[in-house]
Amino acid sequence: MSLLEELLAYVGFDDGDRAHLRALHPVLEPHFPAIAARFYEAVNANPTAAAILTSPEQIERLRATLIDWMASGLLGPHDEKYYEKRSRIGRRHVAIGLPHDYMFAAMSVVRTAYLERIAGLFPHAEAWAIARSVDKLFDIELAVMARHYHLDSKEKLLAREQRTQADRITAMRTMSAGLAHEVRNPLHAAKLQLELLERRLRKHGDDPSLHGPAQLAKKEIERVTELLNDFLAFARPPELHTHDHDVVEIVRNVVALERVSAERRGAELALVAPTKLMAQVDSSKLHQVALNLVRNAIEAVTPGGHVSVELTAGDARFDLRVQDDGEGIPDEILARIYEPFFSTKEGGTGLGMSIVHSLVTLHGGTIALATGAGGTCFDVMIPARRL
């Protein structure tokens, strides 16, 4: 059942009401211009509504549209074409920036004009029955227009939020790129000097008390380098270099790399995949997607936990599913899961999932997330061929 059918049934709009409205049309039609004039008098009396109207030509066009709206409402047919026409009115209010309360006020002006004329033109009992049919019609009109007003308002708000988020990410990328380039050169120089120091220490004696601090400093430089690489991966809008690759082999290599981490945590890491699955992908970027998802899943489970990685071939696509049986992601974190620089890990950059989302989108794919007390599942869907 369509929304219009539901509305008609809900208000009890039947053939009797249709007959009342059709019979009312020739009686009210001569009054349509006066009702339209009264309508725009009410509009011009309100500064906010009047500001929307820019010229006499526009008012004249809208007056003709209002008269057509009154006629079609009475004559029908009240079908899907009628529904679409009414929904456009709600969307138009959003486009011109008119608050929805003016839509209700405007409808009240027309409804009142109808009822006044019905009361003056028909005997009381007949007028009451016709007025009930008019009320049902206006209730349906308002429901349709309000629904599409709110739908388009939500879409407009979402688009604005997406633009704001995109601007914020662009600014973060610019900052990250500048910071990364400033740090990279002195970091590289420090690493070279440390390697030179290690060679000199080995040349002049093998003193563990000297080698220990040097090794520790080297590990810390490598850790900072890894963080720096994350910043650069986020800061540079990546380019895809796609070729035919066996996706199973890419993911199998990731699982092999992370199996040691899983064992160290006391967790089981399993891969379920076909023998071969060919797709046109950027192998290094898909490797990064799988690595981040698998690594996060391992970190989410407790000793004795399970992480499953599953690859399946779909209709012109492939699915990569990474699932864990950890405690799930809390709501306050879930809302920010792909936000750059947001992290709950000590020392984390908060770029991992942002990069994952970016690389999946770059491939023309999507990523879905389901989480709860029983664990978390990331489901990545990527087209097998580039369009």
Domain boundary among 193, 222, 237: 237
Residue range of the domain that includes 191: 1-237
For 167, residues 6+ apart whose C-beta sits below 8 A from its C-beta are: none
Do residues 231 and 351 both lie within one domain? Answer: no
Domain tally for the chain?
Answer: 2
CA distance 287 to 380: 13
pLDDT in tens, 280-337: 999 988 998 999 999 999 999 999 999 999 999 988 899 999 999 999 988 888 877 7
Predicted pLDDT of residue 126: 87
Do residues 215 and 276 both lie within one domain? Answer: no
Specify the pTM: 0.47
Predicted pLDDT of residue 232: 65
Do residues 109 and 136 both lie within one domain? Answer: yes
The Cα-based distances of 161 to 156, 167, 353 in angstroms read: 9, 10, 20
What is the CATH classification number for the domain harbouring 268? 3.30.565.10
Predicted pLDDT of residue 332: 81
Do residues 297 and 233 both lie within one domain? Answer: no
pLDDT in tens, 193-240: 777 777 777 777 666 666 677 777 777 777 777 777 666 666 665 678
* Cα atoms in the Cβ-side hemisphere of radius 13 Å centred on 118: 23
Q: Check: CB of residue 206 under 8 Å from CB of residue 158.
A: no
Do residues 250 and 223 both lie within one domain? Answer: no
Domain boundary among 187, 210, 237: 237
What is the CATH classification number for the domain harbouring 139? 1.10.490.10
Domain boundary among 189, 207, 237: 237
Do residues 122 and 178 both lie within one domain? Answer: yes
Do residues 232 and 286 both lie within one domain? Answer: no
